[in-house]
Structure 1
Amino acid sequence: MSSNSPAFHRDSDDDDDQGEVFLDDSDIIHEVAVDDEDLPDADDEADEAEEADDSLHIFTGHNGEVYSLACSPTDATLVATGAGDDKGFLWRIGHGDWAVELQGHKDSISSLAFSLDGQLLASGSLDGVIQIWDVPSGNLKGTLDGPGGGIEWIRWHPKGHIILAGSEDSTVWMWNADKMAYLNMFSGHGNSVTCGDFTPDGKTICTGSDDATLRIWNPKSGENIHVVKGHPYHAEGLTSMAISSDSSLAITGAKDGSVRIVNISSGRVVSSLDAHADSVEFVGICGTGSKLPVGCNWKLGSEAHYMGSPAFFSPRYL
């Protein structure tokens, strides 16, 4: 879909819009430090005895690396996994003899998501195809196609069986999973769409891309309401996204180590959080909405990558 929206839109009569808020180190509530000396040395590890396995359950059905995992929102024992062996499985924690294989994908299963009522499971693959599964029976309900590249992520509408998926081909697709019907395609990003979601009220879609832009869409009309890009937004591609429970704010993390908070209604950057030196791997909002945790990967040594220091910010802009 084409966009005629400016990068940052501001209504002249909106006296309630707040200006940009740039947070510095003094605004960090708590930082968990990781000392290089506390990290295990590879040579020392080789000399140590094998550590005890504290896992509750081990599922061994895959023959390749596991790329995706989803837990049922209605059944604490039900788990779905997808891997580089082109296979997916539904299995239960504590039930080693029970598993349902999700067959039919022709490439690695890159994304999995249960519908909020737990009745349907969507599996997305690098072949650009999404399969919809009936969870109670384990049967394939149908196949959704259209994207010309691998599936990056899958999200379900908060109030129904509407599915949203981002693709490596820079497009976002929406289908009705009950009717197995195409609803809309959102185009405009210039690179892989790496993150996205419906707002909790279901009225808006936010998508982020490796092209360093955030796009805000009307899901019914397909209109691109806002495009957020350029200073003071991210300088490098987006990696992660979270949306506040009141559907007012989109929090995004990027490869440049930055986190930005955007007012969804206005498309304006309202806060800039810069506490990481490397790519932000996830962002989230705690249940109370009082703290925003973000985390990243820090490069320690020439090859090893360890999870770095998570920082907790207080969203004082609310």
Structure 2
Amino acid sequence: MVSSPSPPHYEHRFTLYGHTQAVTSLKFSPDGQYLASASSDNSIIIWDAILGTHSKTLQGHTEGVNDIAWSSDNVCVASASDDYSVRIWNVKKGTLAKTLSAHNNPVFCVNFNPQSNLLASGGFDETVKIWDVARGILIRSISAHSDPVTSVSFSHDGTIIVTSSFDGLARIWDTASGQCLKTIVEPQSIDPCANVIFTPNARYILCSTLDSTIRLWDYHNSKCVKTYKGHKNDLYALGACFATPAKNRSWIISGSEDHKIYLWDLQSRDVVQILEGHTDVVLAVATHPTRNIIASGAIHSDLGIRLWFDEENTSVKTNGV
């Protein structure tokens, strides 16, 4: 029998200071040792994820950094920037490994495939680029959307890619051929799609749109199966993520334009906790791969990265998404 997840109870543990402009993206390393933060101040900072101490700063972009992603071996971080480039950094050495240049507008999103031999990026040129990581060369350019691409993500086995765009669409792509397999659109809404990710088993996608709604889609049948509301999101490209304590995927987490962080029960769709403390729009959230830790970052007047811990719920069972 699968036990019911206990309601989360995250509490603010400490705040990390280092960026001088908006915190745009947060990502924990796959082994959970580090937290990477990206900022409009052109930099990426690597932090000790548990102690909250500064490890190193990666500098070289000439414009703001919009997104970051870790390689599966915890060695590299990729970054997408307004300077039209994607860069790959060796985190262990603290050095720039490669600069990938093919976009002709700001690059908004980036992600490795699970094997980390491929990298996908998307941006304001409305394309998705697929890169060979080892050789640092462009493999394929996909004319993906009719407006800027806001997110790009691989499935757990890397065979398909999901993208979102300000054109209001989410699309599924075959990684090998670059062919569009499915287009998902909400018939009742043409609001821009701010972010989309696969659920861990890749049976569904979770899509955040600028109508203050997060939708869980069965993309095989083009059917919206659940909606999550309560937060405010109509201006910024906020992204939701799944909580992962003890490999559990029961909670959906998102920042909000009312300066709060919202947690929903995936199955019931109920708001189960609201985290307060930020003083501006919470643009970035991330969850630790093995521990009950949430990282959050905001914009403008609130430049501190907050770490929230929930040590009470550590053995919750997975619900199979």
TM-score (norm 1): 0.70
Unpaired segments of 5 or more residues in structure 2?
21-53, 317-321
* 2:14 alignment counterpart: 32
Does structure 1 retain, via aligned residues, the 8 Å contact 2:15–2:304?
A: no
Q: 5 Å matches for 1:248-259?
A: 248-259=250-261
Equivalent residue for 1:306? 303
Letter in 2 for 1:261: L
Of 103, 106, 125, the residue aligned with 1:108 is 106
Aligned residues: 269
- 131, 143, 148: which is aligned to 1:150? 148
Matched with 1:205 is: 205
SS of aligned partner of 1:200: coil
> Could you tell me whether the CA contact under 8 Å between 1:128 and 1:151 is conserved in 2?
yes
Rg (Cα) greater in structure: 1
Contact 2:102/2:138 (8 A) holds in 1: no
Question: Does 2:280 align with 1:297?
Answer: no
* Per-residue deviation, 1:309: 4.8
Specify the code of the residue in structure 2 equivalent to 1:199: T
**Alignment map for 1:227-306 (pairs within 5 Å):** 227-229=227-229, 233-237=230-234, 239-244=238-243, 245-266=247-268, 268-276=269-277, 277-289=279-291, 291-297=292-298, 304-306=301-303
Aligned twin of 2:225: 225
| Cα distance change, pair 260–75 in 1 and its aligned pair in 2 (3 A) | closer
2:184 to 173, 183, 186: 186
Q: CA 1:315/1:96 → structure 2, altered by over 3 Å: closer, same or farther?
A: closer
Q: Distance in 2 between matches of 1:95 and 1:294?
A: 22
3-state SS of the aligned residue for 2:130? strand
Tell me how far apart the structure 2 counterparts of residues 95 and 29 of structure 1 sit (CA, whole Å).
32
- Cα distance between partner residues in 1 of 2:176 and 2:81: 26
Q: Is the 8 A contact 2:283 2:299 kept in 1?
A: no
1:225 deviates by 1.3
Is the CA contact (8 Å cut-off) linking 2:282 and 2:299 kept in structure 1?
Answer: no
Measured after TM superposition, the shift of residue 113 of structure 1 is: 0.8
Higher strand share: 2
Could you tell which deviates more after superposition, 217-226 or 80-89?
A: 80-89
Matches of residues 112-151 of structure 1 in structure 2 within 5 Å?
112-151=110-149
Cα shift at 1:59? 5.5
Q: How far did residue 97 of structure 1 move? A: 8.5
C-alpha RMSD of matched pairs (Å): 3.6
Per-residue deviation, 1:140: 1.8
The structural deviation recorded for 1:112 is 1.2
Deviations 1:272-294 (A, max 9, x none): 314234322333333445x3425
Counterpart CA distance in 2 for 1:88 and 1:30 is: 33
- Give the SS at the match of 2:119: strand
Code of the aligned partner of 2:176: D
Q: Is the 8 A contact 2:107 2:124 kept in 1?
A: yes
Does structure 2 conserve the Cα–Cα contact (< 8 Å) formed by 1:257 and 1:296? no
Asked if the contact 1:66–1:82 (Cα under 8 Å) also holds between the matched residues in 2, the reply is yes
Mapped to 1, the partners of 2:87 and 2:14 lie a distance apart of 36
- Structure 2 counterpart of 1:50: none
| Structure 1 residue ranges without an equivalent (≥5) | 1-15, 35-39, 41-53
Sort the Cα spacing of 1:65 and 1:242 in 2 relative to 1 into closer, same or farther, 3 A.
closer
Letter in 1 for 2:255: G
Larger CA deviation: 190-199 vs 278-287: 278-287
- In 2, Cα distance between equivalents of 1:128 and 1:111: 11
2:109 maps to amino acid: S
Equivalence for 1:68: 67
Question: Which amino acid letter does the alignment assign opposite residue 183 of structure 2?
Answer: M
Change beyond 3 A, Cα 1:59–1:236: closer
Per the TM alignment, residue 28 of structure 1 is displaced from its structure 2 partner at its CA by 5.2
> TM-score, with normalisation over the residues of structure 2?
0.70
Distance 1:264 1:85, change over 3 A: same
Which of 80, 83, 86 is matched with 1:85 structurally? Answer: 83
Q: Does the 8 A contact of 1:200 with 1:246 survive in 2?
A: no
CA shift in 2, pair 1:259/1:70, >3 Å: closer
1:203-256 deviation digits (Å, cap 9, x = unpaired)? 111111221001110132221112333xxx224447232213444332222111
CA displacement, residues 105-134 of structure 1 (integer Å, 9 cap, x when unaligned):
121111111101111110111111001012
- Give the C-alpha shift of residue 270 in structure 1: 4.5
Taking a change above 3 Å as real, the CA distance of residues 236 and 314 of structure 1, as seen in their structure-2 partners, is: farther
